[in-house]
Each structure stands twice: as C-alpha cells, then as structure tokens.
Amino acid sequence: MTVLSRINSPADLKGLSSPELTQLAEELREFLIVSCSDTGGHIGAGLGVVELTIALHYAFDTPRDQLVWDVGHQGYPHKVLTGRRDRMGTLRQEGGLSGFLKRSESEYDAFGAGHAATSISAALGIAAGRDLNHDDFKVVAIIGDGSMGSGLAYEGLNNAGASGSDIVVVLNDNEMSIAPNVGAMHKYLTSVQRNPLYNRLRGSIGHIFEQYAKGKGPLHDLGAIVKKVEESVKALLTPGVLFEEMGFRYFGPIDGHDTDGMIETFKAVRAFKGPRLVHVITQKGRGFPAGEHGEKWHALPPGHDPATGKLLKASSAKPNYTTVFGKGLAELMAEDGSLVAITAAMPTGTGTHLVQKAYPARFFDVGIAEGHAVTFASGMATQGVRPVVAIYSTFLQRGFDSIVHDTAIQHLPVVFCLDRAGLVGEDGETHAGLYDIAYMLAIPHMTVTAPASGSELIGLLRTAMAHTDNPFSIRYPRDAAPDLVPAAGEIAAVPYGTWDVLRRGTDEVAVLAVGTMVQEAMSAAETLSAEGLDVTVVNCRFLKPLDQLSLAALLHDHKQLLVVEEGTVVNGFGAYLASVVEQMEPTVRVVAHGVPDRVVYAASRARQLAQCGLDAAGIAAKVRAMHDVEAMAG
C-alpha cells in the first residue's frame, strides 16, 4: 500500500515518520502529474507546494485552524490531502471538483478565490471574526510572491501588521506568478537568494555556531553571540527587515521542499501570537518530467502527455482570438510607432507575448496589478502614446474605478482589449467574463465593441487607433475565431458606430446579435427558415454608440427585437437597447437574451452556452417563444 493511499484527511499525516512524509511528497507529486494529464489544470503551482502543503496540514490543526490559499492554483495538493483524492479525475468538469478552492466543496476550504492577492485580507477578516467570537484557532494565508505585487496584498499586509492580530502569512516565493514576476518586490525577494555576501556569511557563521553552540561557559556564550550576529546580518541583507517594519515577525527564508524543516518552523510559529510571516522558497513545477517549470507548465489542457506536456491529439482548430489579437497587434505596431501594449502578468494568456518578442521596448508587463495597468496606460496617453491594455474581462473588473476616474473622465484614448469575455468553460465561475458589457456601457465616453470574427477584431483595432478623443473597448471570447484571418495590412478599419445587417428577413422578429452570438444567430436563422420563419440577423458590433440609422430601419420593419449577448442579461446590451427603443418606438418589443442572473459553474464552453440558451437551438427556441407570445396577445 502506498503512503498516499493511506491519507484520507490531514489527521492521517500526524502518525507518519519523516521518511514516510518524504515518500508521500513523491507519490503526491506523481499523482498530480498523471491526474492532470487527463483533466488539464493549473499544474505548475501545485507541484511547487507539495511539501509546503504537507507541512502546513501536519503542523496546524486543520480544519479548525484555517488555511486561506491565494488564487487556488496552489490548492491541488490541498484537495488531495483533504479527502478529495478519488474525485480528482473530475477536476474542472461539470459537476466535478472546482479548479480553485471553494467553500461549498470542503470544510477545509476556508475561503474561495480564483483571482490573486485576496488571501491576506480574507485571512485577516477571518481572524477578526474569530476574535469577536472569542475563539482561539489559528489562521494562515498562503500567498505567492507574484501576488505580492498586487495592491490588495499590500493593503492586507499593512492592515494586518498594524492590527497586531494573531495571523500567519506564508509567502510562497517561487519567482513566478504565471509569467516571470516583475516589479520591485520581486527584485527585493530574489535578492536574498542571489546575495553572495549573505550566503557566504551565513555559511561561515553557521559553521562557527555549530562548533561552539554545544559548548559550555565562554564557548557557549561565543556561540550565542555568533548567532546574534547572523540574525543581524540576515536582517540587513534579507527581505525580513521590510516585513518587520510592517509589523510582522519574520521567519526565513526557508527551503520549501524540506518537509521536516518546515514542520519544525510551523510548529514554532504556531505557538506565537501576533502577525508572523514565513518566507518559503519553492520551485514552481517541481518534478514535472519535461524538466521546465516556467510559464509553459503553469496550466495544461486535458489529454496531454504527462512526460512532455504536449497534447496527445493535435488540434486542427482555427487560431483562437487570443492569437489573432496578439499577431494582429504586433503587425499594427509595425505601422504605428505610437502604439504600445500593456498587460498585467499575462503576456501569453493575452497574446501580447508576440508583441513582447517583436517590440520589447514597447511592451509593458506591470504584474498582477490591473488597476495600476489602467492608470499607467492613462498616464502614457497624456503624452501622445497609444496604449493597448490587454487584460482578461474578469480581471479588468478590478480596474473599474481606474477606468472611470483615470481614463474616461479625462477623455484619454486608451484601448481596452478584453480577452476571455463571456463564458470560459472549465475555468468556471471565478474567471467568467460576464459583466464587462454592463460596466463598460455605464462609463461615459466609452466606445464598446464586440467583433464577430478574427478579421473584425483586427478591423476594430484599426478603428480604435483612429479614435483619439476617448477610450475604446473590444471584447472577444476564449474560443477559436470562425475565420482564417489575413495579415493586418489587408484588413480595413470598421466604420465607426456601424452595424452589419447579415440577413434581411420578412418576419416580424429581428435578431440583434453581439460578438460570439452572430454565428449562432445565423445558424438559428437557417433552422427557423426551414420552418417558415424568415428572421433578420444583425451583427451589432458597436454596442455604444448605437448605429442609429440601422436601428431606425429595424424599428420600422419589425415588431420585435431579440437581443442576444454572451454576457449578463442584467443591465446588459439588451437592457440598454430596450431603454433606447422605448423612447424611439414604444410599440416595438425588445427581448433581452443573455446569461441569466446566476452563477454559471464549470463545464465545457459549448455546454455552458447551451445551458444559457445561447447556442443556435436556444436562440431559435427564443424566437419561437416570441411568436407564441405575440400570437396569444393577438
């Protein structure tokens, strides 16, 4: 029987010997590699914290003591050790385990998160609640060094250090978030690992201390003095001084793959009170057979070779929107020297790595700091530079105030490119980009667009380049583009503020489709045509401003408008258009059809669309229902 097969809860760790703990780490790492080769998932971070997870559950009394994992990418070993090993084959699947930590999934998941840098603030809140309830359990936040570049992490540290609260922060320092880390905090943390003076002094002092520490009298006293010198040197040359000044008692840096050493440290730290920070050095992707542990192995798709990370079955799909965007932007930057690209720790995820390679001086990765990215871009825009900010829709939510206050109010021509807009499949509810239509429509001076194809995406980028008075946003999905996209030089700008009537029907219903819904609407129209319903289909590529001429014509020719969008139906484009139509032609009925006002959980993207009625079948059914209502009213 393997050691891992004997672990059904953290309580089972307590009786293991040191060699068994080492064997458990090896087995757990191998299990994760094989399991994730089938399901896909964020494998890199989990492989880096195997020993750390074992040590935390061994030294702390979980679930009474509460572990708050940042993001959740680090959480796979935690899931396995907390009774979910047999369900790991359902990871990121409909009805299966979440790809992140989730309070409803396990009593061991103290706080759920799919976005970075929430752990310290959440842990401090849990600790404050504990104190108000006169309880005495421990609270531990585990945060990666990449997340430490986020403003929210600093806010949490600042408050926690000043509060004097009984809280432990574990800084998992692997020099990576998704892409290699950037920023002053990253340089500060890595300085200790590469500081030759500190490492030489530590080695020499450690040797002297070992010689004298076991002695008695003057020799023992000398050993104690030597140890104090080591601590002083450490405070001078390591990051501890920063955290100490912020109110934390600092421990580290310690080897994050030395299980015994970490258990000893965490047991000691647990006994203390007040804010404590344990600095642990780990290797992201440790043990992956392919050898690399960089951005490439951060997350892998299902059905890959566990030895190499390569897909077992080559994809014949057309390029996805992300690749189309990155390639097209790089080509446009060759034409216009004022264009720059900005992302927040996601160069490959947003396709901007292609810009980084071609124009490194015009590429800016600001780290996990979305609000800063927006304000940084706005500052650049005041100097005649044309910033293109590429961020996932779900992450740009964090920069909403910056978009309003720093960009829109000041009429600055920043271009926002929102990747992963809409439903995102297996990444689930934390990463769904469902709200950008609603929040962008609400911002004064903002142009809001959604391309129906890869070529239209590049055309809208050209339009955005020519729009120099105000901000401009473009949303596109986590999906393959439906077309083969030519070089950017062959694609013209989309006329500003225009719609495209793709199908002129004689029926009373017109379908106004947004972005990804255009192809589905056209398929639905073909189905309905066979049934004798001849509907109009419009590509509403501009959500704001509206195409007033096209809208007036639609209101003249149709009694009902069905607005289909891959975003929240609450305060979305349909709701916005309904308010406009009510003023223009109150006899025309507008039906908004989007993602319902509920959480959409992980499943395949196609399955999610079908669940929301946003596939061709669902759209056709909605049109039929509108006819039935009209017939009953008549």
Active site residues: 284, 370, 398
At what angle are helices 50-59 and 259-271 packed, to 10 degrees? Answer: 40
| CA–CA gap between residue 259 and residue 447 (Å, rounded) | 53
DSSP H or E segment with residue 510: strand 509-513
Peptide bond into 545 cis (omega under 30): yes
Compute the distance between CA of residue 313 and CA of residue 624 in angstroms, rounded to an integer: 40
Query: What gap in Å lies between CA 295 and CA 285, rounded to an integer?
Result: 9
- Whether 97 contacts 79, CB under 8 Å: yes
In SS3 terms, 377-393 reads as: HHHHHCCCCEEEEEEEH
Q: 107 with 63: CB under 8 angstroms? A: yes
Strands (E), 256-299: 275-281
The secondary element (H helix, E strand) that includes residue 376 is helix 370-381
What does the radius of gyration of the chain's CA atoms come to, in whole angstroms? 28
Helical pair 50-59 and 18-39, crossing angle rounded to 10 deg: 130
What is the secondary structure of 392-427 as a DSSP string?
EHHHHGGGHHHIIIIIITTT--PEEEEETBB--GGG
- 543 burial (CB, 10 Å; 0-12 / 13-18 / 19+) is buried
Cα dihedral 393, 440, 148, 91 sign: negative
Q: What are phi and psi of 561, to 5 degrees?
A: -120, 125
Cα separation, 525 vs 503, whole angstroms: 9
Token digits for 145?
A: 């060094």
Q: Is 206 exposed, middle or buried (0-12, 13-18, 19+ CB in 10 A)?
A: middle
Number of helices (H), then strands (E), belonging to the chain: the values are 24, 17
Peptide bond into 63 cis (omega under 30): yes
Residue type, position 380, single letter: M
- Asked if 264 and 276 touch (Cβ cutoff 8 Å), the reply is no
Render 126-195 in DSSP notation, one character per residue: HHHHHHHTT----EEEEEETTGGGSHHHHHHHHHHHHHT-SEEEEEEE-SBSSSBP-SHHHHHHHHHHH-
d(CA 586, CA 516): 28
Ordered strands of the 339-343 beta sheet: 363-365, 339-343, 386-392, 415-419, 472-475, 447-449, 542-544
Q: What is the DSSP string of 561-608?
A: EEEEEEEESTTSHHHHHHHHHHHH-TTSEEEEEEE-SS---SS-HHHH
- HSE-up (13 A, CA, CB side) for residue 78: 33
Residues 6+ apart with CB under 8 A from 504: 536
Query: Which structure tokens are listed for 575?
Result: 């709701």
